[in-house]
Amino acid sequence: MVPMDVPSGTAAACNAAAPTLNASSTFSLREGGEMPIVGLGGGIFQDAESAFASALEVGYRLIDTAPKYGESEAALGRAWTTSGVPRSELFLTSKVGNVGYAAALQSLEASLAKLQTTYLDLLLMHSAVHQPVAKQPRSKLHAENRLATWKALLEARAAGKYAREKGIALQAYGGGGGGWQLWKKDPNLDLLGRAPITAAAKAHARSPHQISLRWQIEQGLCIIPKAATRAHQIENRILFDFALSESEAEAIGALRSEGPLSLYGFRDPDEYL
């Protein structure tokens, strides 16, 4: 993997370094370790094992999954153990819910067993919301269980099961604009159909999806777009032989003022205090 040697958060820096970046580039974590800047979002697939096997063949080394994604973890475990790719070359991500200390550790152990590995490279808290009181944003259980779950994550890392998430790297998900195809219900959610993105797509002879992903990389973000087919998986990695102009990047960035800020409609985490 090739380290990403540009500072995050500046389109100009990433534009200047575009020739040095490729689909195997990584983000150097602050306290050691490398996280691929392009990974595969796990999600729920009709045939998860085939999707993961294809992704590994194409060259993906970061794959994101979660217990909530059905049989995704077990499918990924079977796919990588039969792929011939060494565990040391993989960056596996899974999640635990905001379920408190003991349940978080139990969830982690179950994930490790399904993934057929002894450690994860990144373990995330799958939402800061404590589900039994999800509709009560001011419930103390959100914060209390979030703290207890976080302590469980820190303990897992200290035990060698939470190995690489030691620096600060921003990773975007749902960045392809698909949003479970919510745009079919509301045209305002069709972010890839907005003029700045379609104009850039035409200028660079790329898909709007590729333009969206390229813009995110130029903001210093790591990305994990979901893709079930080999063709789509390959397309999502062809992002490094072009760069957006400053005016294109600014026009796309300005879309945030038009809303919505998120296709998923999640609440601001600061509401859960």
Look at strands 25-28 and 34-36 and give their pairing.
antiparallel
Task: Say whether 33 sits in a helix, a strand or coil.
Answer: coil
- CA 83, 86, 91, 97: dihedral to nearest 10 degrees? 70
The annotation status of 126 as a binding-site residue, yes or no, is yes
**What span, in angstroms and rounded, lies between the C-alpha atoms of 156 and 72?**
22
Give the residues across from 126 on adjacent strands: 97
The residues annotated with a catalytic role in the active site are 69
Instruction: Give CA–CA dist 255/269, Å, rounded.
Output: 22
Beta strands in 22-179 (DSSP E): 25-28, 34-36, 40-41, 62-64, 91-97, 122-126, 171-172
Would you list which residues are annotated within the binding site? Answer: 126
Would you list which residues are annotated within the binding site for substrate? Answer: 126
